[in-house]
Each structure stands twice: as structure tokens, then as C-alpha cells.
Amino acid sequence: MKLLRFGDVGNEKPGMLDADGKLRDLSGVVGDIDGSTITPEGLASLAKVDPASLPVVDGSPRLGPCVGRIGKFICIGLNYSDHAAESGMDVPPEPVVFLKATSAICGPNDDVRIPRGSEKTDWEVELGVVIGKTAKYVDDKDALDHVAGYCVINDVSEREYQLQRSGTWTKGKSCDTFGPVGPWLVTKDEVADPQDLHMWLEVDGKRYQDGTTKTMVYNVPFLVSYLSQFFTLHPGDVISTGTPPGVGSGIKPNPVFLKAGQTVRLGIAGLGEQTQKMVQD
């Protein structure tokens, strides 16, 4: 299934994409696409719904984040060896873990607001893993049992705030609109192998990132298991699993950063695409 949320900010309705690519309204079936409805039981119930029985949504409504009320927005840094190399950093002996503020979350095609004074706003296409079943002290072999599905994430980053202004990475990752999520949550039964997905990103039509989840250092089952050793993962939590090479800060000898008026497009095979216009805050 491809599950999504549509409508104005803060008033999104649940939806489903049918086999013909038509948007169907799920609001008569569930209240939202969130931690309460993406459990194994909830997804099993939704799988029994005939999309043809649902109202078609006319036009092209705004798409919201594909998961509502995200509890934790957990990010993994330097999880692609070639990206670590372009950043001038070593592959970490254990995953680099940081949290992105949930106030950064926005829809997949919403404007991204460049913070006041920012000169180093950057892009990162990433595979998002959505938790559907509570996970605590989970083994690798059982980890995918706790995953509801996958989505596209742009881990927008302000590199000066992240790396040059002391402290943790959080403040360079958490500016408003720095977390576009969606367009839809693709349930795991439709993703044969999360470690074999092509991913890409373009700025004004120029392709900068063109990679694959094959080159992840720490794969999805390992990450779910690893994180569950430190804190409980709950349905509706999202893990952003790192980015392949091609970020603006890694371009040599002259890094490239985002400016107001530019358009970013990104996508992952089978998981959809995002498009964001950069605007000045």
C-alpha cells in the first residue's frame, strides 16, 4: 500500500494511492496515518479495504508528511562510506545518531525556508524507515518485523550551524521545514529489498546525488536493532538512514549551497518523489 496525508497544514486527511495512481480518501476508515494506524494490525485492516470503494480526491491537493504525529525523528550520520569520504571524515565504528526536531517536519513539496543569515544550506536525499511495532532490545533477525514501511526524506542541513558553531549537529538539522517527509509511506511488503533502492537528487535540473542504498555502512535491520538497545522505538517513529555522496558541502574545490528561488527534486525508486522551492525566511 501507498499511504499518505493530504490537505492544509495541520488539517491533513488520511489517503491511499490506488493502482492507477488516483488519490483516495481514507478519512471514513481511519482518523489519520499515524502510529495508531500503522501497527501490524492496523495495516492488515487497511489492506482489506477495496480502494475502489473509497472516494476519489479531485485536483492536486497539498500533500502533508506521510506520517502524522511523528514521535521521534531519528537520523543517522555518515552512513555511506563514499559520503563520509567526501566530507573528509572517517566511517564511524558505530552509527552516528542524532535527533531532528519534529518542528522541522513538513510536506514533501512544501517550500523549504532558508534561515536568516544562512549561507550553507545543503541537501541530503535519504531513505526513511517508519516504525510500526514497538521495538526494545530487538535482534537484527527480527528487526524488520517492527518496520511498517519506507519513505523519502530530504535531510536539509545548515552546515555552518551543524559543524562550525560548536555543540551537537541538532541545530544545523532542525530549522523549520528542514524535514520534508513523503510523498507516501510505502508498506514494507511492496519493497523487496530496502538495501537495493536507487536514490537521486537534483537542484534546478542538475543531478548532484545519484546513489543506492546498497552502499549503506549500517543496513536497515542493524539500525533498528542498534537504536532499540538505547531507547524504545514506537509506532510512528521515523529513522532517516543517511545520504549517499553528492551533497553541496562535498563539492571540491568550491562547495555549492542552496539559494532562494532554486528548486530541489529528489526521489527513491518505488517510494516517490519530492519537489521543494527554496525561499528566504
Specify if 274 maps to a domain: yes
Per-residue pLDDT, 48: 97
Specify if 162 maps to a domain: yes
DSSP annotation of 63? B
Could you tell me which residues are beta bridge partners of residue 272? Answer: 268
Calpha distance 148→57 (Å, rounded): 25
What's the pTM?
A: 0.97
Specify if 108 maps to a domain: yes
Specify if 46 maps to a domain: no
CATH number at residue 130: 3.90.850.10
Specify if 261 maps to a domain: yes
- Which amino acid, one-letter code, is at 168? T
Per-residue pLDDT, 88: 79
Calpha distance 181→66 (Å, rounded): 6
Calpha distance 159→249 (Å, rounded): 8
DSSP annotation of 131? E
Specify if 55 maps to a domain: no
Locate 99 and state its grid cell: 535527533
Per-residue pLDDT, 89: 74
Per-residue pLDDT, 91: 82
Cβ atoms of 152 and 182 closer than 8 Å: yes
Specify if 208 maps to a domain: yes
Specify if 7 maps to a domain: no
Long-range pairs for 219-223: beta carbons < 8 A, 24 or more residues apart = 219/194, 219/195, 220/127, 220/129, 220/143, 220/144, 220/147, 220/194, 220/195, 221/140, 221/141, 221/143, 221/144, 222/140, 222/143, 223/76, 223/95, 223/129, 223/143
Locate 219 and state its grid cell: 543496513
- Per-residue model confidence as pLDDT tens for the chain (281 residues): 999 999 999 999 999 999 999 999 999 999 999 999 999 999 999 999 999 999 999 999 999 999 999 999 999 998 998 777 777 777 889 999 999 999 999 999 999 999 999 999 999 999 999 999 999 999 999 999 999 999 999 999 999 999 888 888 999 999 999 999 999 999 999 999 999 999 999 999 999 999 999 999 999 999 999 999 999 999 999 999 999 999 999 999 999 999 999 999 999 999 999 999 999 99
Asked if residue 221 has a cis previous peptide bond (ω within 30° of 0), the answer is: no
Number of structural domains, the chain? 1
Per-residue pLDDT, 227: 98
Give the residue numbers spanning the domain of 142.
Answer: 65-280
